[in-house]
Amino acid sequence: MNHAQARIDESCCLLVVDAQNGFMPGGGLPVADGDAIVPVINRIAPLFANAVITQDWHPADHVSFAANHAGRQPFDTIMLPYGEQVLWPVHCVQGTQDAELHPDLQLTQAQLIIRKGFHREVDSYSAFVEADRTTTTGLAAYLQARGIRQLYLCGLATDYCVAWSALDARKAGFSVTVIEDACRAIDLNGSLAKAWADMDAAGVQRVVASDLLG
């Protein structure tokens, strides 16, 4: 066992964010090169005894869909009671193929799937706290109850759901590492650079898969 592998123990958890058809090429909200993360995740997954998956799970009438706002286009912004909201193309609607996990994802050891974004009136990027910044998903309490102290994050998209999850994980007291080559970004109006700056400032670490595999 090499040094990188030795750091991954029962106190660590792989958090795979939104590796769903909807964010892959051909999906409702495709992230460029999004499907390239799947083989990387599959290579690192066996290092982790603990794994959690998040899944965007929107009702068709979700407030974040541009199609539900007359005269609005995807990537417009509006103000909602909790602040500014980007309007997205319809994606990851509950029960559709678009919302399913990528079929090649190999995470049979995953113990929990956290579904988020199912409240019609509030979006949810983070795996921990919804966009109103008060409604929790329960993930922090689950991880703490299981003795998890360190999270390794990967998935889609780096500058939204991965970054928000990483920042909230730090606020909840976890050590956080983002596996950079197991993520891809939307990069809307400089959002990727801002996300990395925010994560760096919060003490989020970065690695690539080869750092873990040795």
Give yes or no for residue 72 having a pLDDT over 90.
yes
Give yes or no for residue 3 having a pLDDT over 60.
no
Q: How many other β-carbons are positioned within 10 Å of the β-carbon of residue 191? A: 17
Q: Is 163 inside any structural domain?
A: yes
Active site residue 18: yes
**How high is the mean pLDDT of the chain?**
95
Give the residue among 112, 209, 106 at the shortest CA–CA distance from 152.
209
Q: What average pLDDT does this structure show over 151-155?
A: 98
Q: Which pLDDT does position 61 carry in this prediction? A: 98
Q: Is 77 inside any structural domain?
A: no
Give yes or no for residue 118 having a pLDDT over 90.
yes
Q: Is 177 inside any structural domain?
A: yes
Compute CA distances 153 → 13, 35, 127, 129, 182, whole Å.
9, 16, 11, 16, 8
Give the residue among 20, 15, 30 at the shortest CA–CA distance from 185.
30
Confidence bin at 188 (pLDDT 50/70/90):
confident
Q: Is 80 inside any structural domain?
A: no
Q: Is 31 inside any structural domain?
A: yes
Give yes or no for residue 59 having a pLDDT over 50.
yes
Q: Which pLDDT does position 43 carry in this prediction? A: 97
Its domain, for residue 188, covers 3-59+91-213
Give the residue among 124, 212, 204, 115 at the shortest CA–CA distance from 166.
204
HSE (side-chain half, CA atoms, 13 Å) at 187: 9
Q: Is 192 inside any structural domain?
A: yes
> CA-CA distance, 104 to 86, in Å (whole number)?
30
Which among 12, 13, 92, 161 is annotated as catalytic?
161
We report the CATH number of the domain holding residue 155 as 3.40.50.850
Which among 12, 18, 98, 159 is annotated as catalytic?
18
Which among 13, 35, 92, 116 is annotated as catalytic?
116
DSSP E strands, 144-192:
150-156, 175-184
Residue found under tokens 């500058």: 159
The domain total for the chain is: 1
Q: Which pLDDT does position 189 carry in this prediction? A: 87
- 200 three-state secondary structure: helix
pLDDT in tens, 14-25: 999 999 999 999
Q: Which residue type is seen at 66? A: A
Q: Is 83 inside any structural domain?
A: no
